[in-house]
């Protein structure tokens, strides 16, 4: 593991309840050498002050709907040699940060990204991709564990904004994130700039977060967009910065088709009406038009923080217990889980019902990881929909499945 200090930056606006869970997950990290910087509105800063100990936290006000600007505020204040990012509507596995920063022991590695599970905590939302100069992604096959890949001009190794890390020196030198990307393609632009320099990016398959995709300024429940203006604007700015002019028309037409298909799927699912599809497509066009005439500003180097690093208190390795049984014994299981948690241990609670209910994983407000689902139903979407299990065998299988993410104690 790298001995470098780490600054974890969380940007939040309008989602204090989700931010609370994110910060609870950071307090459970088995990495002990990191600080947390929360860049947020007033409600978010209030939550951070309640959840995080004073030592090793930094609360930075920002109530502007521009994620790149907010991330740069964090970069300018960070004292760690590595900067990691997680979204406010995500929770990190206890081993997340240790795994994510491990590749930086190699001085040639400039960035790292991990895997992302979706709202159910089971299915993967994001794994590994490359991205080209038009913003088009392609799946990247990677082995289990850590793999290191070199970018090239016009083709980058993509990291996902809710689970990524960079060397602070690189971010400072390149001027951090480009504020022209208020939302969408912001970290992809950084990936492309690193690729142009031939820098190395690590993909770490077992550095995992669960991403809730919570409602916010730009999307409502069900990930329904409120506006596509920033998607359109960021897409055109990305093309102007990275793609040749001959590729612009093709990429813009692809964007129109992709977004229209997305909206039609939401309409079929009952989330949108036909007039909503028309309105949202108009906002996409408005964003593209606005960005086409906007001057591209340079991103001058950022000044480093003039302060000492201080690690967040209360983190580091500790026992992690696995409590499991049938739903009819839930009261007893809950008592056991809460007692262990009150003693400072980390706890995963598995509750199996005698039903075909699909499995879900979540982090609760009391800091207990809870997985629930049917005894016979899958906890991996690649498993068959129904499999007959003995209770003891299923408990052992689930413990084994999670063991690479959580160091259960006793063995």
- Cβ-in-10-Å burial (0-12, 13-18, 19+) of 286 comes to middle
Q: What is the pTM assigned to this prediction? A: 0.95
Nearest to 408 by CA among 94, 102, 160: 94
Residue 213 has pLDDT above 80, yes or no: no
Inter-residue contact 34 to 312 (CB < 8 Å):
yes
Segment among 24-38, 53-67, 341-355, 372-386 with least mean pLDDT: 372-386
Q: Where are the domains of the chain?
A: 6-215, 222-292, 320-402
Per-residue pLDDT reduced to its tens digit, 42-53: 999 999 999 999
Inter-residue contact 168 to 7 (CB < 8 Å):
yes
Mean pLDDT within 59-65: 96
- Give CA–CA dist 70/66, Å, rounded: 6
Inter-residue contact 202 to 99 (CB < 8 Å):
no
Q: What is the CATH number of domain 6-215?
A: 3.90.550.10
The chain-wide mean pLDDT, for the chain, equals 95
Residue 407 has pLDDT above 90, yes or no: no
The confidence band for 1, taking pLDDT boundaries of 50, 70 and 90, is low
Whole-number pLDDT of residue 2: 62
Per-residue pLDDT reduced to its tens digit, 274-328: 999 999 999 999 999 999 999 999 999 999 999 999 999 989 999 999 999 999 9
- Distances 273 to 221, 264, 380 between C-alpha atoms, Å: 15, 9, 34
Query: How many CB atoms are located within 10 Å of the residue 400 CB?
Result: 10
Place of tokens 């991990």: 114
Residue 244 has pLDDT above 80, yes or no: yes
The confidence band for 410, taking pLDDT boundaries of 50, 70 and 90, is low
Whole-number pLDDT of residue 399: 96
């Amino acid at each position: 593991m790298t001995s470098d200090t780490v600054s974890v930056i969380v940007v939040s606006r309008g989602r204090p309840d989700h931010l609370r869970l994110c910060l609870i997950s950071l307090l459970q990290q088995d990495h002990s050498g990191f600080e947390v910087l929360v860049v947020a509105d007033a409600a978010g800063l209030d939550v951070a002050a309640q959840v995080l100990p004073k030592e090793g936290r930094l609360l930075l006000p920002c109530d502007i709907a521009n994620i790149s600007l907010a991330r740069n505020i964090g970069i300018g204040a960070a004292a760690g040699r590595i900067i990691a990012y997680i979204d406010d509507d995500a929770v990190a596995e206890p081993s997340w940060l240790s795994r994510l920063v491990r590749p930086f022991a190699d001085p040639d590695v400039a960035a790292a990204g991990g895997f992302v599970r979706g709202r159910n905590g089971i299915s993967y939302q994001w794994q590994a991709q490359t991205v080209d100069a038009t913003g088009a992604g392609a799946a990247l096959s990677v082995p289990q564990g850590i793999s290191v890949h070199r970018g090239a001009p016009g083709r980058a190794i993509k990291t996902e904004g809710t689970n990524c890390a960079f060397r602070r020196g690189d971010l400072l030198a390149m001027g951090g994130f480009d504020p022209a990307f208020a939302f969408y393609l912001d970290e992809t632009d950084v990936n492309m700039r690193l690729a142009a320099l031939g820098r190395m990016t690590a993909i770490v398959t077992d550095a995992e977060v669960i991403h809730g995709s919570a409602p916010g300024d730009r999307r409502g429940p069900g990930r329904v967009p409120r506006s596509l203006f920033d998607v359109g604007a960021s897409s055109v700015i990305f093309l102007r910065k990275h793609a040749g002019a001959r590729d612009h028309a093709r990429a813009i037409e692809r964007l129109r088709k992709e977004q229209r298909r997305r909206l039609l799927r939401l309409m079929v699912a009952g989330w949108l009406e036909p007039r909503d599809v028309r309105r949202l497509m108009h906002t996409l066009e408005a964003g593209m038009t606005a960005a086409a005439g906007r001057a591209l500003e340079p991103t001058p180097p950022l000044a480093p923080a003039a302060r000492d690093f201080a690690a967040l208190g209360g983190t580091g390795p500790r026992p992690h217990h696995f409590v499991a049984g049938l739903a009819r014994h839930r009261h007893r299981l809950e008592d056991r889980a809460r007692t262990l948690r009150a003693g400072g241990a980390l706890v995963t609670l598995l509750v199996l019902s005698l039903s075909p209910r699909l499995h879900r994983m979540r982090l609760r407000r009391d800091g207990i990881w809870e997985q629930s689902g049917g005894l016979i139903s899958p906890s991996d979407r690649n498993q068959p929909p129904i499999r007959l299990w003995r209770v003891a065998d299923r408990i052992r299988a689930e413990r084994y499945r999670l063991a690479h993410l959580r160091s259960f104690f006793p063995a």
